[in-house]
Copies of this chain bind each other. A is one copy, B any other.
Amino acid sequence: MAGESDRKKYRRIATDLRDAIRAGTYPAGSRLPGENALAAQYGVSRATARQALAQLAQWGLTTARQGSGNYVRDFRPLIRDAIKRLGNGTWPAGQSVWDAETEGRSLTVDQIEVGETADVPDRIRRILALSGGEKAVKRSRRFSVDGKAVLVSTSWLPASIAAGTAIAERDTGPGGTYARLADLGHRPVRFREDLRSRMPDEGEVERLALTPGMPVQDLIRTAVDADSTVVEVNEMTADALAYVFRYEWDA
């Protein structure tokens, strides 16, 4: 399987380890041989062994823990089905392309932050059509699955609509933000989601406990009401390896 340009020593070591991982020699969560062990085993300098382990991490196969070792990653992605509504049996049993599990996994929410603020990023200001110092209601949360942070979500709504309502409270009540918007005469009737993958900045690496070198998925949802007023912009950043984003629609 490894017929690549394995003239390079570090690539040879990396592909050896990769194949061993695939073969099950190192199951998910297990520890690989250390830098010194590999250097001795292959008769190379520690820097070269290190480079091989870095390659594995960059492939998304392992994650390095200082003072401990390199460990085989384990993560089956969650499926986020944006356009749900249909429980009918339109889809055959074929299932998804990727292994994925939603059930039997514990979801927790923390780093909740709710409040009115004038500190709104320009890209959000533009979409919400907010003028200079105009305020917005900001709702920020972090989601974790089985203890691993997977998604940070920040929602923005015009203060002219949401200020002083349940939307500006921690608990928005039954039905959540969208139900409250409907109560206020601003029921969302149309949604747009823009997805983009990119490399994270340092704050995101920390907040999502990302393996260095692995991407994040950005998702920006925009909701408009019947008057074509943008009533919410929700900016999400997800651990790209933790999620599959699904969209379904009729022709």
A60 close to B (CB within 8 Å) = yes
Known: A91-B224, A190-B249, A214-B215. 11 other contacts (CB 8 A): A58-B213, A83-B247, A83-B249, A94-B126, A97-B127, A191-B250, A191-B251, A192-B248, A197-B215, A215-B215, A249-B249
B190 and A90: CB pair below 8 A? Answer: yes
A-B contact pairs, 8 of them (CB 8 A): A59-B199, A77-B196, A82-B247, A92-B228, A98-B196, A192-B248, A195-B247, A197-B215
Answer whether residue A193 sits at the interface, using C-beta atoms and an 8 A cutoff.
yes
Size category of the A interface is 35 or more
Spot the interface stretch: A101-109, A132-140, A167-175, A236-244: A236-244
Q: Decide yes or no whether A64 CB sits under 8 A from chain B.
A: no
Count identical subunits in the complex: 2
Q: Is the CB of A250 within 8 A of B190?
A: yes
Report B-chain residues with C-beta under 8 Å of the C-beta of A89.
228
